[in-house]
Structure 1
Amino acid sequence: MATTPSEPGDGRPDPRQSAVMNERRHLINLAYRLLGSLAEAEDVVQETYARWYALPPRQRDDITSPGAWLNTVTSRLCLNVLSSARVRRETYVGEWIPEPLPEPTEWHAGPSDGITADPADRVTLDESVNMAFLVVLESMTPAERVSFILHDVFRYSFAEVAEILGRTPAACRQLASSARRRIRVAQAPATPVAWQADIIRNFKQAWEAKDINALIGLLDPGATAIADGGGAAGALLRPIEGARQIVRFLVNLAGKLDHLTLLERTVNGRPGLILQQDGVTVSVYAFDIAGDRIKHIWAVRNPAKLRPWTAGPTALGERG
């Protein structure tokens, strides 16, 4: 009887093959942080495995560290995607915001599109995937982003980063240092998560009540609101700047809340909100909070970026 790729000739599981497949979760985590898009991350990881299995068996056997090979290929593919993405996003209709991720335990069990569940797809939610962090990453050059994520987040040595980028370790060290400065300038001191949750809860209640004074009190005077509708009808094409301008927009939008449901949810590891229509998520709101005021609001309405919120666990896998 013919054996599968995951079994050696004696029928026992092949530990080398298992090790290759066990890299998938790590690769998804890496690619999402590099790209800010789960869909693009999944495509890159799929291409990485396609290239692995396209290698002649003897060549695969000669690779002493399959994990290192997979990580290198994934990183280089992400670098290519980032370089082309900068051009694509210049022609994107409206603002581009990284794809928001839900907390696995809070996922809406919505309609499945038939995709097989795969627990390996989980993206671990930590400080390196909160929306404010990902937005800063978008301001970096592709080489800065790759150097910083590989070294500072995933603890690659600069020698390893240099091999992936095709630059010297010293150059990669400089790239990561430049990226680090961008992070320091952009990030406010962290507000405790429980405190953030209270602020978002108060914001939700004030928005539903159309309480203008309460909303203004919760927003930083220089706050900004950015929406990513991907060209959807009625989507904002430019950021709204200033607390009063944002509140004016929110109060006008509040009239539609009579037909929609606003819920508290975790967005990229931080307290956020979602807007649902007939049980289907149509908008996701992420927030950046400095002290006791909301400094930034990111609203994602692009249906293509809401797939993890609408497909449900049956489509994307239980993230246990």
Structure 2
Amino acid sequence: MLNNVAAVLLDGVHPFELGVLCEVFGLDRSDEGLPVHDFAVVSAEGPELRTHAGFTIGSLHGMDRLEEADLIAVPAGESYIGRDYPPDLLAALRRAVDRGARVLSVCSGVFVLGAAGLLDGRRCAGHWRHAAELARTYPRAIVEPDVLYVDEGPVITSAGTAAGIDACLHLVRTEHGPEIANAIARRMVVPPHRDGGQAQFIERPLPRSRCDTVGDVLGWMERHLDREMTVEQLAERAHMSPRTFARRFQQETGTTPYRWLLRQRVLLAQELLEATEETVDSVAGRAGFGNAAGLRHHFLRTLGTTPNAYRRTFRGPSHAA
């Protein structure tokens, strides 16, 4: 069981990624009936560390604290790529895995795990900007450049920022069950579950340029995801020719009308599967996929999982239907 958790820091640690670990594992939520972890923040480089934001952190535990941890988490940090790491930290990480503990990295923290030899022969995730360098630096690692996180036995690796939240909640779900993970996610006001195989890039409905000529149509599309709609119909609503509308849409959203619509429908289906007891057929109809077969097809292509599997993971086996 995951009881004892240590976040180990190097100089230049990113405060947000450290904050993710503190929020998930470091807060006492026993008043809500949630498990309390024995959480500690450990320094691998002296009694006081500088953060990436410029302030310092003190009152840190020593490296001996890692020897009893069930989970050692390594958050991201400035210049973690291409630097040397303390040999005693790398040895402690290897000992942890050898004795059956888990190790977790957030974003560039994965380079620390690589230096310890823990990525050899394992699938791993990191920020998309670092994927090529990660593969070059650790050629025996199996780098998954687009996914949110990867759970490979005792080694869990995640991409940047919010993907670290996903990986932490996944670990809580694995160790304590979906109800505990969901309760923590509600307190954090974040999605309770995003599958690790999801792409790091998710198209959003926000225009990317100052020129907003399709904003009204985007709003209408989002309110009527269950309707059939063609580019010609959308162009007429925007008072443009289909060709001009398609070009403006691409310029302002970074994607095509079809891809934007598909992504919003998948997002709506996810929300309905998470928050309601509606059947998969009903969810498919409300999200604009027509029937369960259509929803399943697009869920598999977009998320790499089925609607039933997604609901089971999110809400537990009794809710699959």
> How high is the TM-score relative to the length of structure 1?
0.28
Question: Which structure is higher in helix share?
Answer: 1
**What is the TM-score normalised by the length of structure 2?**
0.28
Taking CA–CA contacts closer than 8 Å with sequence separation of 6 or more, which of the two structures ends up with the larger relative contact order? 1
